[in-house]
Amino acid sequence: MLPAQCESSGQIHKRDKEDFFMSLFSGRNFRGTLLLVLAVIVTSGPVLAQGDGATLFKSKCAGCHSADGSGTGPAGKAMHLRALGSADVQKQTDAQLAAIIADGKSPMPAFKDKVTSDQIKQLVAFIRSLAKKG
Ligand code: HEC
């Protein structure tokens, strides 16, 4: 951390609230900015927003697609998976995504005998939530 940033965090008590928030964005209080960003990620994350879909995804899909759908784990890399949040995947319709999950897409197995159609909808919703992360 730069000395200037350490100094500014010591002065926070003297500032009023508005100044404090401005300092978050101006980078004078780097630690505060980091905490704010982390708080936003944690509270808006797909794990909380899409409880059921996220849990299903973790147990049935993350082995290949990674928990965040990025496909950056060893299996995902080996199979050259596209990130599920990417524009190429997201441009497919809900019906198309549901069909891939139900029927599989070699070497991905079919899931229609392993999950209900409601659960497939939850999985599609979870995949949609990945797009918001950019
Ligand atoms: C055994 C590894 C494996 C598992 C488990 C797996 N997938 Fe896949 N998945 C793949 C592979 C490989 C592809 C790419 C197939 C292709 O495009 O040739 C894929 C493709 C997809 C696609 C289309 C992505 C694209 O590039 O258009 C979706 C959506 C998808 N998977 C969702 C899921 C969901 C939801 C689950 C859990 C219910 C799941 N997958 C479980 C391996 C897996």
Give the tokens for residue 134.
């950019």
Work out the end-to-end distance of the chain between its first and last CA atoms, rounded to an integer number of angstroms.
Answer: 28
- Ligand 1 atom showing the smallest separation from residue 89 Cα: 27
Q: Is the CB of 64 under 6 A from ligand 1?
A: yes
Q: Is the pLDDT of residue 12 over 60?
A: no
Mutation choice for ligand 1 from 89, 97, 100, 122, CB with most ligand atoms inside 8 A: 100
Q: Is the peptide bond before 107 cis (omega within 30 degrees of 0)?
A: yes
- Residue 108's DSSP bridge partners are 105
The mean pLDDT value for 17-44 works out to: 62
Q: How far is the CA of 42 from the centre of ligand 1 (A)?
A: 26
Of 29, 33, 37, 38, which Cα lies nearest the Cα of 10?
29
| Minimal-distance CA residue to ligand 1 atom 2 | 64
Mean pLDDT value across the chain: 81
DSSP character at residue 81: P
| CA distances to 66, 111, 133 from 40, in Å | 22, 33, 11
Q: Is the pLDDT of residue 10 over 70?
A: no
| Minimal-distance CA residue to ligand 1 atom 5 | 61
Give me the residue spans of the domains in the chain.
3-44, 46-131
Q: What is the pLDDT of residues 79-125, one digit of tens each?
A: 999 999 999 999 999 999 999 999 999 999 999 999 999 999 999 99
Q: What's the one-letter identity of residue 83?
A: A
Name 44's Cβ contacts closer than 8 Å, sequence gap at least 6: 132
Q: Is the pLDDT of residue 1 over 80?
A: no
Q: How far is the CA of 107 from the centre of ligand 1 (A)?
A: 8
Topology at the third CATH level for domain 46-131: Cytochrome Bc1 Complex; Chain D, domain 2 (1.10.760)
